[in-house]
Structure 1
Amino acid sequence: MNPTQILLYLVIAGLVVWRVIVRQLLGSAVTPRGLALIPGILVILGVVNCAQVLPGASGTEIVLLVVDLAVLAVLGVARATTVRLSLHDGNAYQKGTALTLVLWLLTIAARVGFAVFGAHASGTDRLTGASILLSIGLSIGVQNVVIYTRARRRGLPVAGSRSEVAQPRG
């Protein structure tokens, strides 16, 4: 990876940590935009990055990418099941738990492990490096789909936007 890519990934990692993990643990309203925005951006950027290096990828790299995406999707489902859903001000509200944080740490460790293994197994980190945004975006997206589905099944109304929701205190 070149220095620009490394800087981009660090900025995105900081954004993901703050926007997704910290806000999830502090709690937030369940809104379609809130659930779709970050994972959507990450998946789009990840697909663009992967499309640039995929033609030159080896079979090993492609298999590793598929396994990476599957494992991180499963971890997204697992994280979603640990998020507490409740009703605040007439709308669904989500709040992560200590187990959610543990599963986030496991997700990060798994992604780092795939990147290291990919670099050693294929002799290059081009596809594993290019796919980081895709795999993290997919994991967050899967988690958010499960959270949305859980909220709807419980009959919790989902606000159309954050402006429709008065943030709960304390």
Structure 2
Amino acid sequence: MIGRTYLERGEPVVVLIRWNGPGPRNVLIQRADGSKVVRPFRGLRRPKEETPMPSVNPPTNAKRRDLQAQVITRDGGACQCRTGTPTACGRPHTCGAGRCLTRHTPAAPLHVVARDDIRPESAAALPPGDLIALCDSCHRALLTRRRKTRNRTVPVPDALF
């Protein structure tokens, strides 16, 4: 899926990143004009023959794996959630003195996410220092906390007419 060319309304696009889990399966795509957009994977079609994309260089799986490995091994392969930090999930982590004790394993891999609450297309370009590795429970709790604390102001127009 990643690095493959698909058709979006008849125009070729390349899938750069995908997100799995509950809810919609979103992907970051790069269009022929170079713009990057996050959209649902549903609706993208495989071309009958491989449609070449001019001047599009999707990140390779090796680069992505290297970035993930860098972030995960930074803390010895453990979840980087700490109570009292801005990236804390909100759970107490009492048995670890404020630190999550979950380790990275093939059966329960850690999620690499941005430290700050930013849009996914911006997070895809962050360096390893701005990313953290979280276990599944901390990741889910952090996303829920971020979603609930986002500023949801509605722009007020200057005038009705």
Return the structure number with greater relative CO, CA threshold 8 A, min gap 6: 1
Bigger share in helix: 1
Higher percent of residues as strand: 2
TM-score by length of 2: 0.25
- TM-score (structure 1 length as normaliser): 0.24
